[in-house]
């Protein structure tokens, strides 16, 4: 329950002030300050809600939203298939490498990524992190 609430609160804060329609200026919002040590918060690399920039970039919102989704999906995943931690650990490492390669390749102009490609790569990382934890929360179902 703490994991669910924690991931939900992080996700909601990361969506920024546009969600509540109470601050059109992102730099004045507490949500923006909350993530200033965690994300570059570049306006060109962020999605908008109601015309207001989110508090984090597209990649980060992908991570937070998919981690929260993954936490919700944990019981379903366990019922469908027994979770093998080793597999999900490798998946997690793989998605970290994938994101790192994407950032560097874009930086050195091997390719140009978009907000949606950043979002999906971030989402892969968030989902794999949530799935890695799944069998810890549902040990009885998994055994």
Q: Which of 73, 91, 133, 141 binds another protein (CB under 8 A)?
A: 133
Q: Could you say whether residue 114 binds another protein (CB under 8 A)? A: no
Binding string, residues 26-65; x marks residues near another protein by CB under 8 A: -xx-x--xxxxxxxxxxxx------------x-xx--x--
In the block, tokens 């490609």 appear at 117
Q: Which of 4, 9, 24, 116 binds another protein (CB under 8 A)?
A: 9
Angle of CA points 92, 67, 14, to nearest 5°: 125
The minimum distance between CB 124 and another protein, in angstroms, equals 14
Phi, psi of 113 (to 5 degrees): -90, 165
Q: Candidates 15-23, 74-82, 109-117, 127-135 — which segment interacts with another protein by CB under 8 A?
A: 127-135
What lies within 8 Å, CB to CB, of 61 at 6+ separation is: 14, 15, 46, 47, 54, 119, 122
């Amino acid at each position: 329950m703490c994991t669910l609430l924690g991931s939900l609160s992080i996700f909601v804060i990361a969506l920024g002030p546009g969600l509540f329609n109470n601050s059109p200026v992102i730099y004045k919002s507490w949500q923006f300050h909350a993530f200033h040590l965690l994300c570059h918060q570049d306006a060109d690399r962020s999605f908008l809600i109601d015309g207001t920039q989110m508090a984090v970039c597209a990649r980060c919102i992908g991570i937070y939203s998919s981690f929260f989704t993954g936490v919700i999906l944990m019981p379903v995943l366990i019922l469908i298939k027994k979770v093998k931690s080793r597999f999900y650990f490798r998946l997690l490492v793989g998605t970290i490498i994938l994101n790192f390669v994407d950032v560097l390749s874009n930086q050195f102009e091997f390719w140009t990524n978009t907000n949606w490609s950043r979002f999906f790569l971030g989402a892969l990382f968030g989902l794999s992190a949530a799935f890695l934890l799944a069998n810890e929360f549902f040990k009885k179902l998994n055994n």
